[in-house]
């Protein structure tokens, strides 16, 4: 049994920086990684998907160039080159993260699967098949989550795709059916349609991106359908037959039963925490009914000295939230801070085209809280920069307190929506009001300049 001051299980976007900072602060630290350094984000999340989306965006822009007076005869998609570029970028990020660990004094890295063997003791089955025992004063769980697989009749025989396996496709699907009309599913749906796939999105609820306001969902549906994707809602899959290349998906729809023929099926119905192999019952760590580790506002489990960071704790499943988890834990433990997850902002951006970016309260959430609020909204057809660049899909929207003029939330379904949302997020952090932005001076012509006009259009709801 080898003892450390701290052990991190999982080299994700919380685990790696935390391990390095603890080691630099003089704590003897071990990081255990089952797969690759970098976690979901670098290996099969943000980095590879946004790299591929960039190629799909350029292909779409080329096909739409005629609107700007440019004639491009054909657009040829070379999936092999696109995937090669993706792999090279992923490898460079992964290698850089691993080198950062290996160059940090007092920090050890072991590849293997960790499981609890005692209160603060771990058994690690290493990649060479051996087993080693470790203990620590602090243990940090950063094992992330994986694609949720539904129990559908016939599914296991189909060689279905997940958000991980779809990244290794060698050919563009003839007809990609996407099960799930939310963030992961919509990004893949649009990008493969732009590569030339016929795409059908199946959503079990009444609308896609169901956590967003109805006007956002409606606009996103219209945008996708006008581009050529098919969106079906209130759908239940009863059975899947065949194998990849020749699938038959039996549906129950509001109009009765229906069969869809497809070449590929992507499962994008959510995530499930990677906790099954940890033997959490041994130290007595509590989880919710879905297996997510329960933590308090300081990210500590019910067992003192054991923490859970990132997707595995059931909080917002975003890279930037995992990173913020690390900063909270480190500052509290090593700098005697009093930081918590309470009331922290949770910005996010879906990289469809246009992007869907949000921070703070939505209109639906403000109504549910019984708040008195104003809604500022402007269509992108009235944004000068959008008109000039031919990017007029979507809208900008903000929720404002009528008495204080404070911005309560923002939603950008717009070109570069994530960047514009960040402007309002900074305003919210600094207490800058809608009135101040309304009369502020922004460089012309930029997307952010239209925040002037946005806040000239505030109406009570």
CA-to-CA distance for 33 and 18, rounded, in angstroms? 14
The catalytic position among 60, 193, 339, 444 is 444
Distance (Å) of CA 125 to CA 16, 43, 98, 140, 192: 20, 22, 20, 18, 38
Residue 339 a catalytic site member = no
Other C-beta atoms closer than 10 Å to the C-beta of 316 total: 15
Closest by CA to 306, choosing from 445, 168, 116, 163, is 116
Q: Give CA angle at 340 (308, 121), nearest 5°.
A: 25
CA-to-CA distance for 461 and 456, rounded, in angstroms? 16
Tokens of residue 148, six digits = 């949720």
CA-to-CA distance for 410 and 407, rounded, in angstroms? 8
Evaluate whether 454 touches 396 at the Cβ level (below 8 Å).
Answer: yes
Task: Report DSSP state, residue 381.
Answer: G
Q: Give CA angle at 280 (268, 315), nearest 5°.
A: 45
Q: Which helix (H) or strand (E) holds 81?
A: helix 79-102
* Letter string b/e over residues 392-409, b meaning 16 or more CB atoms within 10 A of that residue's CB: bbbbbbbbbbeeebbbbb
CA-to-CA distance for 249 and 226, rounded, in angstroms? 24
CA-to-CA distance for 225 and 410, rounded, in angstroms? 25
Long-range contacts, 253-262 (Cβ 8 Å, 24+)? 260/177, 260/200, 261/175, 262/175, 262/176, 262/177, 262/200
Evaluate whether 387 touches 381 at the Cβ level (below 8 Å).
Answer: yes
Evaluate whether 113 touches 130 at the Cβ level (below 8 Å).
Answer: no
Task: Report DSSP state, residue 380.
Answer: G
Residue 293 φ/ψ, nearest 5 degrees: -75, 130
**Residues tagged active-site:** 444
């Amino acid at each position: 049994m080898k003892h450390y001051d701290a052990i991190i299980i999982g080299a994700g976007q919380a685990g790696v920086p935390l391990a390095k900072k603890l080691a630099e602060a003089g704590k003897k630290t071990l990081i255990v990684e089952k797969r690759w350094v970098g976690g979901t984000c670098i290996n099969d999340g943000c980095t590879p998907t946004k790299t591929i989306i960039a190629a799909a965006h350029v292909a779409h822009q080329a096909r739409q160039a005629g609107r700007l007076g440019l004639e491009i005869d054909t657009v040829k998609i070379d999936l092999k080159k696109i995937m090669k570029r993706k792999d090279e970028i992923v490898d460079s990020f992964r290698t850089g993260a691993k080198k950062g660990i290996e160059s940090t004094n007092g920090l050890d890295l072991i590849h293997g699967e960790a499981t609890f063997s005692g209160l603060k003791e771990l058994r690690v089955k290493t990649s060479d098949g051996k087993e080693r025992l470790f203990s620590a004063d602090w243990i940090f769980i950063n094992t992330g989550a994986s694609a949720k697989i539904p129990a559908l009749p016939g599914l296991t025989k189909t060689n279905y795709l997940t958000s991980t396996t779809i990244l290794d496709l060698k050919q563009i699907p003839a007809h990609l059916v996407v099960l799930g009309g939310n963030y992961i599913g919509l990004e893949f749906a649009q990008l493969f349609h732009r590569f030339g796939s016929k795409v059908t999105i199946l959503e079990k609820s009444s609308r896609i991106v169901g956590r967003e306001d109805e006007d956002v969902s409606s606009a996103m549906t219209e945008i996708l359908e006008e581009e050529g994707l098919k969106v079906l809602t209130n759908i239940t899959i009863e059975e899947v037959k065949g194998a990849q290349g020749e699938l038959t998906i039996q549906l129950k729809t509001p109009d009765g039963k229906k069969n869809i023929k497809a070449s590929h099926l992507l499962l994008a119905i959510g995530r499930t925490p990677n906790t099954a192999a940890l033997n959490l019952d041994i130290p007595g760590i509590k989880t919710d009914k879905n297996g997510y580790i329960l933590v308090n506002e300081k990210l500590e489990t019910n067992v003192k000295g054991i923490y859970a960071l990132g997707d595995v704790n059931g909080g917002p499943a975003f890279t930037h939230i995992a990173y913020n988890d690390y900063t909270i834990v480190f500052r509290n433990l090593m700098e005697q801070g009093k930081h918590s997850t309470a009331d922290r902002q949770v910005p996010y951006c879906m990289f469809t085209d246009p992007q869907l970016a949000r921070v703070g309260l939505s209109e639906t959430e403000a109504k549910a809280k019984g708040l008195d609020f104003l809604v500022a909204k402007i269509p992108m057809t009235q944004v000068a920069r959008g008109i000039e660049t031919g990017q007029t899909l979507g809208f900008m929207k903000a929720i404002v307190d009528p008495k204080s003029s404070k911005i309560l939330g923002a939603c950008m379904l717009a070109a570069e929506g994530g960047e514009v949302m960040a402007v309002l997020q900074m305003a919210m952090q600094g207490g800058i009001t809608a009135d101040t932005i309304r009369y502020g001076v922004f460089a012309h012509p930029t997307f952010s300049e239209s925040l002037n006009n946005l806040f000239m259009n505030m109406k009570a709801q």
